Amino acid sequence: MLQYNLKASSTNDPRTNLELAKDHLKRLQSQIKFMEDAIRAGAYPEYFDLVEQPTTLFVPKILWEQALGEEWIKANQQPQNKSLKVVAKR
């Protein structure tokens, strides 16, 4: 069903390889979403089961904001840990 071969469209330029990989990933994610939507709609019942996920508990934002107050939130804010962004040189 999926006909995917990254090597068939590779070059020696790592910038091009990265962009091709990102493009292929975008296409594959689109295909995965399409297939999962079809399965959730009832397609392929002989191949796939829909299983209930475990419950994840959380506190809605408005409730913890009300409980802690704006002053506490502003006093305890910290920057998120983020990795460096990869940008190709021109």
Q: What is the pLDDT, as a whole number, of residue 8?
A: 57
Q: Is residue 65 part of a domain?
A: yes
Q: What is the pTM of this model?
A: 0.62
- Total domain count, the chain: 1
Residues 5-55 have pLDDT tens digits of 555 555 678 888 888 899 999 999 999 999 999 999 999 999 999 999 999
Q: Does 32 reside within a domain?
A: yes
Helical H segments across the chain, by residue range: 14-40, 61-68, 70-75
Answer yes or no: is 28 within a domain: yes
- Domain region containing 46: 6-75
90 lies in a domain?
Answer: no
Q: How far apart are CA 76 and CA 64, in angstroms?
A: 14
Taking CA atoms, 54 is separated from 25, 51, 57, in Å, by 28, 9, 10
